C-alpha cells in the first residue's frame, strides 16, 4: 500500500497535475475570499469556501480521471494486480494519495481565517467546521471520481462522467423542487427508477435472474405499498433524491450549524465508493 501511495503521490508532483490542482483551489478560495470577505465585507470565511465548493466540478475530475483508467490503458495494472498487494490496499493507497494532495491545499487554506481575524470578527468555529465539511465533501467527490475511473480505460470518459455526476449532485436540490409531489406521478417515477436500476444491474452483473428478481420485487413492493397507503407517496421523490444531495449537507455549515450527521454522511459516502471501486476492479478481473 505504501509503495502505491508513494508512487501516486510522486506522480502528482512530477506531472504538474498536483500543483495545478492545489494552485487552482488556492486561487479560487482567494478570489471568493476577496469577493465576499474583503470586497463585500462579510466576516464569515465560510462564504469563501462555499463558493469554492462548486469548483469541485472541474477540479475533482482533473485529479481523479487517470487514477485507475490510465493503469488499465497502459497495462500497468498487470504489474500491480500480480504483485503481492491486495486490491483493497491498492485502492486505498491510491485514494489516500488523492486525499493527501487535497489535504495539502486544505492545510494551506487553514491559515486564511487567522489572517482574516486580524481585520474583523471572524468566527473560528464556523470557519473550521465549514472547512472540515469542505474537506470531507471533496473526499466524497474524489471517491466517486475514483470509482468512475475504475469503470473505464478512457481518461476522457472518466472525466466526463465524473463531471456529470458532480453536476447532478449540485443540481439535485433544484431538480427535486421541479419534481411532481402528487402520489400517482411519484409512483410512476419510482417504478421508472426501479427499471433504470434494473438495467444498470443487468449491465453490471449480466445476470438475468438477479435483474428480473430485483425488477419484480421492487415494482411489486412499490405497487403494494401504493395500494395500502397511496398518500405515503406524497413527497417521497423529494426524500429519495434528497439522500443523493451531497451539496445540501454541506451548505448548512456556513450558518454555523454543526451537523455531525453530515460528517457521518460524507465519511460513509467515501467508504461506500472506495468499497465500490474495489468491487468494480474485482469484478473486472473476474470477467476479463
Partner 1 sequence: MIKVEHLVKQYGEFRAVDDLSFTVEKGEILGFLGPNGAGKSTTMNMITGYNSATEGDVTINGFNVYDEPEKAKRCIGYLPEIPPVYPDMRVKEYLRFCTELKEIPKKQRAAEVDRVMELLHVTHMQNKLIKHLSKGYRQRVGLAQALVGNPEVLILDEPTVGLDPMQITWMRELIRSLGKEHTIILSSHILFEVNAVCDRVLIINHGKKIVIDTPDNIIRTLGGTSGVRIAVRASEEDFRAAVATLPNIARVEVLPENVGEGITTYGVYSSDGAELRDRLFALCAARGFVLYELNSIQKTLEDVFIEMTGKGDTV
Applying CB under 8 A, the residues found at the interface with partner 1 are 2-4, 6-7, 11, 14-15, 74-86, 206, 285-288
Nearer Cβ to partner 1 (54/201): 201
Shortest spacing between CB 68 and partner 1, in angstroms: 14
Shortest spacing between CB 100 and partner 1, in angstroms: 17
Nearer Cβ to partner 1 (15/268): 15
CA distance linking residue 138 with residue 262, whole number of Å? 13
Taking each helix axis from N to C end, the angle separating 124-150 and 155-178, rounded to the nearest 10 degrees, works out to 120
Nearer Cβ to partner 1 (93/138): 93
Decide if 107 contacts 29 (C-beta within 8 A).
no
Do you know the residue count of the chain? 288
Shortest spacing between CB 25 and partner 1, in angstroms: 23
Q: SS3 string of 231-267?
A: HHHCCHHHHHHHHHCHHHHHHCHHHCCCCHHHHHHHH
190, three cell numbers: 419510482
CA distance linking residue 162 with residue 179, whole number of Å? 24
Shortest spacing between CB 80 and partner 1, in angstroms: 7
Nearer Cβ to partner 1 (81/241): 81
Nearer Cβ to partner 1 (80/131): 80
**Burial class of residue 208 (count of CB atoms within 10 Å of its CB; 0-12, 13-18, 19+):** exposed
Shortest spacing between CB 105 and partner 1, in angstroms: 23
Amino acid at each position: 500500500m505504501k509503495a502505491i501511495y508513494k508512487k501516486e503521490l510522486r506522480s502528482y508532483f512530477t506531472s504538474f497535475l498536483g500543483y495545478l490542482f492545489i494552485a487552482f483551489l488556492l486561487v479560487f478560495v482567494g478570489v471568493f475570499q476577496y469577493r465576499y470577505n474583503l470586497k463585500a465585507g462579510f466576516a464569515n470565511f465560510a462564504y469563501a469556501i462555499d463558493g469554492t465548493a462548486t469548483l469541485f466540478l472541474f477540479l475533482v475530475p482533473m485529479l481523479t480521471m487517470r487514477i485507475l483508467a490510465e493503469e488499465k490503458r497502459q497495462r500497468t495494472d498487470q504489474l500491480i494486480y500480480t504483485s503481492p498487494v491486495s486490491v483493497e490496499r491498492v485502492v486505498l493507497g491510491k485514494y489516500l494519495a488523492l486525499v493527501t494532495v487535497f489535504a495539502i491545499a486544505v492545510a494551506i487554506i487553514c491559515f486564511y481565517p487567522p489572517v482574516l481575524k486580524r481585520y474583523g470578527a471572524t468566527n473560528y468555529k464556523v470557519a473550521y467546521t465549514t472547512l472540515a465539511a469542505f474537506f470531507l465533501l471533496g473526499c466524497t467527490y474524489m471517491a466517486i471520481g475514483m470509482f468512475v475511473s475504475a469503470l473505464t480505460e478512457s481518461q476522457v470518459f472518466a472525466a466526463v462522467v465524473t463531471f456529470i455526476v458532480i453536476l447532478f449532485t449540485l443540481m439535485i436540490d433544484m431538480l427535486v423542487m421541479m419534481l411532481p409531489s402528487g402520489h400517482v406521478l411519484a409512483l410512476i417515477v419510482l417504478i421508472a427508477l426501479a427499471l433504470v436500476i434494473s438495467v444498470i444491474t443487468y449491465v453490471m452483473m449480466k445476470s438475468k435472474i438477479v435483474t428480473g428478481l430485483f425488477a419484480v420485487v421492487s415494482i411489486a413492493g412499490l405497487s403494494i405499498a401504493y395500494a395500502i397507503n397511496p398518500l405515503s407517496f406524497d413527497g417521497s421523490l423529494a426524500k429519495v433524491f434528497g439522500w443523493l444531495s451531497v451539496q445540501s449537507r454541506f451548505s448548512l455549515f456556513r450558518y454555523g450549524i454543526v451537523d455531525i450527521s453530515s460528517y457521518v454522511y460524507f465519511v460513509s459516502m467515501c467508504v461506500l465508493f472506495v468499497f465500490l471501486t474495489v468491487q468494480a476492479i474485482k469484478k473486472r478481473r473476474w470477467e476479463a
